[in-house]
Amino acid sequence: MQTTEQQHAPARNDEENSPGPIALSGEVSVDDFARVFRQHPGGVSVITADSPAGPVALTATSVVSVSAVPPLLAFSISHRASTAESIRSARSYVVHFLGRDQLEIAQLCATSGVDRFADRQLWARLPTGEPYFPSAPAWVVGTRINQLDAEAASLILVRATESHVDSDPDSVQPLVYHNRGWHHLGRHSRVE
Amino acid sequence: MQTTEQQHAPARNDEENSPGPIALSGEVSVDDFARVFRQHPGGVSVITADSPAGPVALTATSVVSVSAVPPLLAFSISHRASTAESIRSARSYVVHFLGRDQLEIAQLCATSGVDRFADRQLWARLPTGEPYFPSAPAWVVGTRINQLDAEAASLILVRATESHVDSDPDSVQPLVYHNRGWHHLGRHSRVE
């Protein structure tokens, strides 16, 4: 969708159209920031990677498409995340896009203190070695090509090298996280 | 959600658990990439900025939270987008998180060849000058603090300086874009 917008022909707003006074504080507290992003839904992904200590996995709502040519995507990871060091030092990732039927995997990989790879029926390894969840209806494998480190988080830029989509993607009801709750999309959520 | 995952205790999968042969091609075509990301829903945002030629606006599904302390967010923009040059050279942005009631604004700012600022009832300027859409239920103002340029797109890292959330966020049904269609979230979309 980022490619469909256009430059606006010059136009200036007039003073009369002010919606009333807006008080600007010049700062955004942790609570303010959390409150705003609770209003911003995100498609649910699980990112896996291998590390010297074994496979790691995390649930994320921060995966975005960056460009189709070359095929680039990005995600953010907090440095406070226990998987952060493994993710930041990994060279390749599997990014899984989850449907309602994978809610259990989304919850598993968002829960602290559990062994996310305890159930050997849930995961396998690709021929290239990366751990992944075969039940995910769509996934990409990619290589880290760049990284933007902020104070307490990193943006990881990934070039996709493999992709997979189930033969019947129309049967998938994608999982969305919003305001601390899980949602799913389908006919029932369409805006007519 | 990126902060809740954890390191996996070492565990290796065994060969018997292979889900069958996976053919790896080593490349991802434009169609492959598009097919995968059609399975990845995104909350709908509109990003506005000022430019020497007047205000610009684009609809995006690529806005993500990066960290709460400091309050950082990021979005991607294709260099082919007609607003790309204005967005990449702007210093500050307003990122609006839209609900179902703002579908018209989302469509307006995703449509080529129309004057997105023609309707002066739709937009105004903040005291600091940035153009914005006051009807959006939540928005942040932010300053570009870093940028990651890929071949055909850029990731823009923004530090939030102002935020606004409507007094009754529970009345908002957030807008989500998925598989070329618009969806909205609410009780009807909750996974029980």
Check which CATH number belongs to the domain holding A85 and give it. Answer: 2.30.110.10
Contact B81 A27 (CB under 8 A): no
Residue B150 at interface with chain A, using a CB cutoff of 8 Å: yes
Residue B129 at interface with chain A, using a CB cutoff of 8 Å: no
CA A47/CA B19 separation, integer angstroms = 19
Res. B119: pLDDT tops 90: yes
Res. B13: pLDDT tops 60: no
Instruction: Give a yes or no: residue A16 inside a domain.
Output: no
Question: Dihedral (C-alpha) A158, A162, A167, A173: value to the nearest 10 degrees?
Answer: -20
Instruction: Give a yes or no: residue B147 inside a domain.
Output: yes
pLDDT above 70 coverage of chain B, percent: 89
DSSP string across B53-91: T--EEEEES--EEEETTTTEEEEEEETTSTTHHHHHH-S
State the smallest CA–CA distance between residue A158 and chain B in angstroms. Answer: 10
Instruction: Give a yes or no: residue B167 inside a domain.
Output: yes
Contact A28 B191 (CB under 8 A): no
Contact indicator for A45, A176 with CB cutoff of 8 Å: no
Specify the higher pLDDT residue, A139 or B25: A139
Contact B22 A164 (CB under 8 A): yes
Instruction: Give a yes or no: residue A187 inside a domain.
Output: no
Residue A59 at interface with chain B, using a CB cutoff of 8 Å: yes
B33-61: per-residue pLDDT in tens?
A: 999 999 999 999 999 999 999 999 999 99
Contact B66 A155 (CB under 8 A): yes
User: Can you tell me the ipTM of this complex?
Assistant: 0.88
Instruction: Give a yes or no: residue B69 inside a domain.
Output: yes
Q: Is B113 exposed, middle or buried (0-12, 13-18, 19+ CB in 10 A)?
A: exposed
Residue B54 at interface with chain A, using a CB cutoff of 8 Å: yes
Whole-number pLDDT of residue B166: 92
Instruction: Give a yes or no: residue B22 inside a domain.
Output: no
Q: Which residue has the tokens 């975005």?
A: A64
Contact indicator for A189, B183 with CB cutoff of 8 Å: yes
Residue A41 at interface with chain B, using a CB cutoff of 8 Å: yes
Average pLDDT over residues A183-188: 97
Instruction: Give a yes or no: residue B140 inside a domain.
Output: yes
Res. A13: pLDDT tops 60: no
Measured between beta carbons, the chain B residues lying within 8 angstroms of A157 are 148, 150, 155
Q: Which of B62, B110, B121 sits opposite A4 (nearest CB)?
A: B110
Average pLDDT over residues B109-117: 94
Identify the H or E element spanning B36.
helix B30-37
Contact B19 A43 (CB under 8 A): no
CA A67/CA A64 separation, integer angstroms = 9
Order of all β-strands in the sheet with B64-67: B56-60, B45-49, B92-97, B138-149, B153-165, B72-78, B64-67
Contact indicator for A77, A88 with CB cutoff of 8 Å: yes
Whole-number pLDDT of residue B26: 79
Identity of residue A121: Q
| A80: closest chain B residue by CA | B3
Domain that holds residue A83: 32-179
Instruction: Give a yes or no: residue B41 inside a domain.
Output: no
Res. B25: pLDDT tops 90: no
Average pLDDT over residues A30-37: 96
Average pLDDT over residues B110-136: 96
Residue B118 at interface with chain A, using a CB cutoff of 8 Å: yes
Contact A174 B138 (CB under 8 A): no
Res. B2: pLDDT tops 50: no
Mean pLDDT of chain A: 89
Residue B117 at interface with chain A, using a CB cutoff of 8 Å: yes
Contact A163 B28 (CB under 8 A): yes
Q: Which of B40, B157, B161 sits opposite A43 (nearest CB)?
A: B40
Whole-structure pTM value = 0.89
Res. B7: pLDDT tops 60: no
Q: What are the tokens at A146?
A: 């760049």
Whole-number pLDDT of residue A29: 95
| Number of domains forming the structure of chain A | 1
Mean pLDDT of chain B: 89
State the smallest CA–CA distance between residue B89 and chain A in angstroms. Answer: 13
